[in-house]
Structure 1
């Protein structure tokens, strides 16, 4: 038996709140500063101004992509949204939830022998929150793997 706390109610979303707020705020500020500079520089033509604004928008988009990471757990499994992709996993596919000292984020060990990074739980700024989230996801994975491993009663 595990000494994990009881799992949280489903559905639950894990995301790095502080990191997300910082990235989105920085993206807005950078976009506004670059756009403001484009408007203040009198010698720039319309094409150059547009390129400044598009550069600011591209930087904002890149930071927004970094901020969109999350892990969503529901009754049927887990959806991991990382920077470049999204993957849906059934509970039975998750063998172990790992967050070791020094890890930049949680890793999910999968039944096919691979490991999937779950960037939605990362100990960068809020280490204690990430540890609590990793424990909660681990408790959910163990609870769902235990319930799926129970033998089914034969029907007569």
Structure 2
């Protein structure tokens, strides 16, 4: 049995949308912060053990916060969409996604849902790579229109 081929212009499922450049910047900065604070804590001879632990702990905390900020993604599968934001993950069937919005000035995509609410999808954000975000939003919109009952708005 062969895998179904997506219509022209649609990405092959499953597909993951995430702000890759932003993720690289955040994780690199967090790692550099941890390395600098660790090196400083070990090089300064006047530091006590408590001072060293505090410096390294601060570096770990900084890396943790930046790793949390790099977490958002949107995963589209045959069954639906999984939206992972900073602290939450929500699984949606395609029929629940009415519209995919990325309007001028929006920091990320918003999904209008069949229950009348809107869900931010931070995995597609305009920060560093605006053109990539626009392309990803269009691809997600096309997937929603193909697999669900969605309509579009730009």
Settle same-fold status: TM greater than 0.5: yes
Gaps of 5+ in 2: 1-7, 150-154
The within-5 A match list for 1:117-132 is 117-132=120-135
C-alpha distance in 1 between matches for 2:85 and 2:49: 37
- Matching residue of 1:56: 59
Task: Measure how far apart 1:70 and its partner are.
Answer: 0.4
Structure 1 moving runs of 4+ over 6 Å:
none
Q: CA deviation at 1:6?
A: 2.9
Which residue is 1:26 aligned to?
29
Match for residue 110 of structure 1? 113
Flag the structure with higher strand content.
2
The SS at the match of 2:110 is: strand
CA distance in 2, matches of 1:85, 1:31: 26
- Cα-to-partner distance string for 1:66-106 (whole Å, 9 max, x where unaligned): 11110000010001111111111111110000000000000
- 2:40 is the counterpart of 1:37: yes
- 1:67 is the counterpart of 2:67: no
RMSD: 1.0
5+ residue gaps, structure 1: 147-156
Aligned residues: 142
